[in-house]
Every structure is written in C-alpha cells, then in structure tokens.
Structure 1
Amino acid sequence: MDNSVSLCAVGDVTAFFKDPESMFVHTGAILNEADITFGQNERHYTNRYSEEHDLMPGVPMTEVCPLEHAAALKRGGFDVMSFASNHCMDLGPDAMLDTVAALRNNGFTVIGAGKNIEEARKPAIFERKGTKIAYLAYCSVLRSGWEAGINRPGCAPMRASTFYKQIDYQPGTAPAIITLPHREDLEALKEDIRKVRPLVDVVVVSFHWGIHFTRGVLAMYEREVAHEAIDVGADLILGHHPHILKGIEVYRGKAIFYSMGNFAFDLPLSVRKAREKRLEEKFFHDVKADSEYAEWYSWAPDSRRSMIVKCRISNKKIEKASFLPVLINNKAQPVVISGEDEFQEALEDIKELSTSQGLNTRFSTEDREIVVGL
C-alpha cells in the first residue's frame, strides 16, 4: 500500500470580485487531488465595511469583497489558508475576524491570524495516512500595531528593520540596503517550531514577506529567517507577497520557495483606477496594464507567472519537491503550462531568478513538473 502523502501549495489567493466560481476552472482538479492543499488568503470577506469608506488611518488601499464570495474558495480544495497578510488589519479587527470566521465556516483551517497572539501562532496539524504535518504562518510586511497581542487581534509577526549603509565615498551613490529580523519575533517563531516539532513528522512554515514588484531581489532578512527556521526543525518554507515569482533555495536538504507569486488574484483595471483616483497617488509602481488583461488582471506581465508547489512525503519526510509552472490568463485564471516552449521558458526563468541571488539550486524536469534537487 502506498503511504506517501502529497502536498500542494500556491501563493496569493482571493475570491474574485465577479464570477468567483470561475477562479479554479483550470486548476481545481489538481489542487483537489492533493492530500493537503495550502493557499495564502489576501482579501477580506465581510458585509459590514467597504474599501471606499472604512480604511484604517494611513492605509492606502485594501482587498475586500462580499462575505458570500468566500464560498468560491472551496473549489480550490484548500485545507489550510494563511491570513498572515499585510492587508489583514486594513479595515480593523472586526473585518479581520469576519474574514477568519468566513474561511473557517467554509471548511478551511486558518493560520497566522486570530483574536490574539496565541491563536495567531497556533499551528494547524493534519494527519494523512499515518503521517502528521504541521503548518505555521507569519507576516513580515506589517504596519505598526497590526501584530496580534495577548488581548489584541492581528497576525503572527516576523518583522524586520531596514538600514542604509553608504558603501562608496562619493556623495549621492546608492547605499547598501540591510534588513535584519526582529530578534524577539524570530525567537518566538523558533519556539513555535520547537514546540510542534516533537508532535509531527513534517513542519511547513509560511511567510508573507519580501520586496514586491522587484524582479529577483531577495531582502537580506528572508534568507536569515528561512535558514534559522530550518535549523530548528522546519522542513519546507513557502513564501508569498511580492506578486511575482522569486528564486528557490535548498538549504540543508530543505526547499525554500521565496515567492510563489500570485495564483488566483483578480485586479480589474476599473478597480485599480478607482483606487488611484481616490488616493490621488499611484501605488502600483507604474505598472502598464495590457489592454487584453484590463478587464480582469491589470497586473504587470511578470505577475502572470505562477506555480503550484508539489511535495511528496514518504517514510514521514519530504523526499521530493517540485512545481507545476503556471500562467495566468486574461480572465485572471491560473492555467498549468502545457506548451513545450512555454515550459522551457518557465524553467529558464526560475533558474535565472535563483542564480541571480546566488542560489545554486539544481533543477530537472519530470512529467511536466520542474523538480527541485534536494
């Protein structure tokens, strides 16, 4: 009897503003086949607030749609979803808790956010075919006060500080950017891993982190945090937030997916322009919208590349890590790449993203998957 356990993971997911049932028409079967499927939730589901009128002070924008849209996420077959997000408190604690409740009511275990820090740090533990797997989630892209506290809703923090160092004596030259993890957050994270490690066979840790819309570049703190998490017992690191793919590292035989990119995350041009007009400021880094994609997905072209991470657990450890390369179509739907030329482009892209950051990861191909050499 085959006792291997299959895991799937994807990056940023939102229930679409319109026709949310269409999100997973091309990928739902794959996501539902896995024994455990993970996704990062990036949108509020509530009927009591709106982006136009109810943002917290100093917040430029958020992601919110009607409560009933959350049910469409079930088509993605998710077992566990993180809401450790830079948007988790955009509308205040009530909207965040509405969203957590909506996700739970639709059958998902929620990690990384909650009514207090204990709930936000609580792992999700699953047992499949005699193997136990734990999931933890943290956010590095946090506004002040949005971290959960003893009696305060929020998300589990893994913050970092930024410093600029002049590296050339000539005035006006670009500085080195140094990011260092908050030690109290990192120590708490490591303690969470240590606590759950004896209870399970595999530990998966999710991070909402990184530099968005900037090709390739990893912030210094990401590698330090990922390595220290693995040093104390993490078996797999799943990253998201940059809205584009980033490189993959293998450290001590464990895979680190620094960013899985967007997965199912619509952004109609009409929504984007309404935000820009209301704010009288651009927050989209001068992204040029392709007219073919404007109705559903006005992200930059790089944001169309995505992936479905797949891991196989055998003998109670991850023995294979791979991904299916994905392209997002003009209806914001993720579609697994089928063409040979597109597949080779995806392979070369992930190689370049990795080597550009000094990550000497080995990649191979097998049955239309790109395999990470552990």
Structure 2
Amino acid sequence: MKFHHLLLLLIAAWACKTTRPLPSNPVTIPVDTIAMEVEPDSIYLITQQGDTLVSLDQEIEIPMSRLLPDTVTIAAVGDIMVGTNFPDKSYLPKGNGSYLWEDVGPILRRADITFGNLEGTILNDGGEQKECNNPKLCYLFRSPEYLAENFVENGFDLMSVANNHANDFGLKGRTNTQRVLDSLGIAHAGSIDQPFKIAKIGHLKIGFCAFAPNRGTVSIHQYENIKSIIQHLDSLTDIVVASFHAGAEGSKHQHVTREREYYYGEDRGNVYELSHMMIDHGADVVLGHGPHIIRAVEVYKERIIAYSLGNFLTYGRFNLRGLAGEAPILEVKTNAEGRFISGKIHAFRQSYSLGPRNDLDLSSIKTIQRLSLEDFPENPVIIDDSGRIVYLQN
C-alpha cells in the first residue's frame, strides 16, 4: 500500500489543532467521508451522497504534517538485471518476463517505498559498447524497454543507477535508461546527470541519492560532495535514503572489514566509514550492493545500514551458485523521520530460469544473521531464525 488510504487518519485529524476553528457544534463525520487534497498544505473533508461528492458544511483546513504516517515500510533489494539482448537474444526471458516476479511481487508491492539497484541499461538496441581490459570477463547488459514495465507492476519507487554497468552502452544507454525510468514514474539517482532526487511518495518527501566508484556516477570517494548532497536532502525532506555500490566482490569478501577494499585493482571504498559518515550527515536508511553476495546489517544512531543486499533478480549472465544465489528482500519499518523500528528478512533464492523463488532453507536469513553477529557484535539488534530484526533499544 503506497500511502493512498487516509481514512484511518480522519478521526484523529478532526481532534487536532487546525488553522481554522472547529464548529462550535461538532459535526458527525459519516463513515464514507474521504479526504481530498486541494492545496499543497491543506485538505477539505467531503462525503459521498449517492453518486455525488458533497462538501461538509464546515470547511476544515488541516496541516499536512498531521497526516504523516506513524510508520513507513521500506522494501529493499539488491542487483536487478531482468535480461539482456546483448550479445544476443538468448539471454532474454520468455514473453514480458512477468513470471520471474511471481514469488517476490506481493512483498514488493505492499511496501510504502520499494528500492532496487538497476544493474545495466534500459535500451532496445544500439549504444556505444564499453571497452573491457579482458573481453573474456566483459559482461554488458542492455535490457529492452518492455521488460522495465515489471518495475512498475511490482511497486518500485526508487532505483539506483550508480554502478559499474551504468555506462555499458555509453551516453545513449545511460540517458535512455533515465528517460524510461522517468516515464514510468520511478525516481532514480546516482548518475552524474542526476545525482539525487526528491520524490513525493504519499504525504512523505523522500530524499534519494546513490554513489559508486565508476565513471559516469557520483563518486563514493568524494566525501565532501556526499556530505553536501545528504545535508541538502535532509534539510528538505522527511526521510533520506542513501545507496552505494561498493566493496570487493565474491564469496571471499563477505565480511565488512572496516577498511578500504580493492577488487582487480579498483578502489571499492571503505563501506563502514562511508555508511557511518552518511548517517552522521543526515541519511536515515543506507542500502548497499555491489559485492554480488549479501553482507551484514547494522543499526547505527537509530538508522539501519544494509552493507550488501547481493543479487536479487539477475537473469541470464550472472553466477547464481551458492552464496551468489541468495536473494533476500529486506523489509524495514521506520517512523516518519526515518528512525529504525523493526525489520524482516524474507528469504528467496534465484534459479537460472524462474527468477527468485521462496527459499525453504532460509539461507539468506542465516547468512545475514551470522555475518551481523560476527561483524557487529555491538549491534543493538537481534535477528531471529524467522528473519525478524528486533531493535533492542525500543
């Protein structure tokens, strides 16, 4: 549910201090009263009589701040690459690919805010192919536009485009990706073309930014720029969601070392230092990806950090063996200011042909549970065997 239902708030709203006086004889609000926003900062109450909407006798102006939800549910996943027509169409799913989302769709759609990392470009054809130092290890992702409809169908609101595949097909691929996401109403961030985005989702203003160590993206290494962006968003929005694509890749790099990481000579940053710095300057939810395996979660200053959400739905040209096939959904509850309340890890595992499917072994829960305990013994949370994240300071 994406904040579309306000009926439960109306009774409380009538009891609130308003900018106009309540009637001396209180009006009984019919059960079918609905709220209609008519100005940026106020609403009117109207009721339905037959097929006609009729305004109540007393016009009431209620500050929108009183309509913010008590809790916000955020669903977050890692890398998404829904199929590529490069180097040929054999790496595309059947039809529109909707079957890949069957098990995960209900959880993604029910969240107030849904986030993922778009690994690759959205482009039907053409583009300037990225050159690779080792062609045998070169993977370029070009997803046809029709596959992107699945993002809307499954509730995505925010997508990072800051990663090492953002420029697989040059400027054309990058700009077309952004054009398609704009047309679908999905807020994106992390490209040098759009470093951050302020999105209104329901009655919340969400500040969204993303960073990576790659050309064409907002760099994870420019700390002063990162601080400036996050402070700017924090001053204008209710919740700031910050994302990074960083850390060394593969099963040998599960742990958060709290040191700078390198992979094939590339500086992949110090994700511990980066995440804490972002929260220190106003970020509320920090979501990592990049290592292609999942890492620990931590709560720092009442804000949650997911250090890597791994692969989620990566069709065709990805290694999905072992740890690389773990595909969790992290469901987080915060208050309207972004403070962490509780969480839930939903366990899925990818198959090469069917997308992420329910994982009866709960392997991603066990992995996050183990790594969080090993890497952050001081962490004020407990992750139980069902995947619930309980905040001990609540």
TM-score by length of 2: 0.69
Structure 2 stretches of 5 or more lacking a match? 1-7, 10-68, 84-91, 260-269
Q: Provide the residue aligned with 1:333 in structure 2.
A: 355
> Partner of 2:357: helix, strand, or coil?
strand
Task: Give a deviation string over 1:74-93, Cα, whole Å, max 9, x none.
Answer: 23210111111111112211
In 2: Cα distance, 1:15 partner to 1:350 partner: 25
Q: Provide the residue aligned with 2:188 in structure 1.
A: 110
The answer on whether the counterparts of 1:202 and 1:316 sit within 8 Å (CA) in structure 2 is: yes
Note the C-alpha offset of 1:202.
1.6
The one-letter amino acid paired with 1:305 is E
Q: Provide the residue aligned with 1:55 in structure 2.
A: 130
Task: Give a deviation string over 1:170-191, Cα, whole Å, max 9, x none.
Answer: xxxxxxxxxxxxxxx1110011
Task: Give a deviation string over 1:150-186, Cα, whole Å, max 9, x none.
Answer: xxxx221113xxxxxxxxxxxxxxxxxxxxxxxxx11
Flag the structure with larger Rg.
Answer: 2
The answer on whether the counterparts of 2:199 and 2:207 sit within 8 Å (CA) in structure 1 is: yes
Matches within 5 A, 1:1-374: 1=8, 3=69, 4-16=71-83, 17-19=92-94, 20-49=97-126, 54-56=129-131, 58=133, 60-113=138-191, 117=192, 119-128=193-202, 130-140=203-213, 142=214, 146=215, 154-159=216-221, 185-213=222-250, 214-218=252-256, 220=259, 221-267=270-316, 271=317, 298-330=319-351, 331-337=353-359, 339=360, 342-343=361-362, 345-361=363-379, 362-365=381-384, 368-373=386-391
In 2: Cα distance, 1:351 partner to 1:360 partner: 14
Task: Give a deviation string over 1:2-40, Cα, whole Å, max 9, x none.
Answer: 623221111111223213222211111111111111111
Note the C-alpha offset of 1:210.
1.0
The answer on whether the counterparts of 2:79 and 2:119 sit within 8 Å (CA) in structure 1 is: yes
> Partner of 1:23: helix, strand, or coil?
helix
The one-letter amino acid paired with 1:351 is Q
The answer on whether the counterparts of 1:134 and 1:203 sit within 8 Å (CA) in structure 2 is: yes
> Partner of 1:123: helix, strand, or coil?
strand
> Partner of 2:114: helix, strand, or coil?
strand
In 2: Cα distance, 1:364 partner to 1:313 partner: 17
In 2: Cα distance, 1:28 partner to 1:96 partner: 26
Q: Provide the residue aligned with 2:14 in structure 1.
A: none
Q: Sort the Cα spacing of 1:106 and 1:315 in 2 relative to 1 into closer, same or farther, 3 A.
A: closer
In 2: Cα distance, 1:359 partner to 1:258 partner: 15
Task: Give a deviation string over 1:124-173, Cα, whole Å, max 9, x none.
Answer: 33243x43322111113x2xxx1xxxxxxx221113xxxxxxxxxxxxxx
Task: Give percent identity, aligned residues only.
Answer: 26
In 2: Cα distance, 1:133 partner to 1:235 partner: 10
The answer on whether the counterparts of 1:322 and 1:372 sit within 8 Å (CA) in structure 2 is: yes
Moved more, 55-64 or 15-24: 55-64
The one-letter amino acid paired with 1:54 is Q
The answer on whether the counterparts of 2:207 and 2:241 sit within 8 Å (CA) in structure 1 is: yes
Q: Sort the Cα spacing of 1:252 and 1:316 in 2 relative to 1 into closer, same or farther, 3 A.
A: closer
In 2: Cα distance, 1:354 partner to 1:216 partner: 11
The one-letter amino acid paired with 1:123 is K
In 2: Cα distance, 1:217 partner to 1:313 partner: 26
Task: Give a deviation string over 1:189-234, Cα, whole Å, max 9, x none.
Answer: 0111111112122211000111111342335211111111111111
Note the C-alpha offset of 1:359.
4.6
The one-letter amino acid paired with 1:322 is G
TM-score by length of 1: 0.73
Q: Sort the Cα spacing of 1:47 and 1:54 in 2 relative to 1 into closer, same or farther, 3 A.
A: same
CA RMSD of aligned residues (A): 2.4
Q: What is the total number of aligned residue pairs between the two structures?
A: 298
> Partner of 2:174: helix, strand, or coil?
helix
Q: Provide the residue aligned with 1:290 in structure 2.
A: none
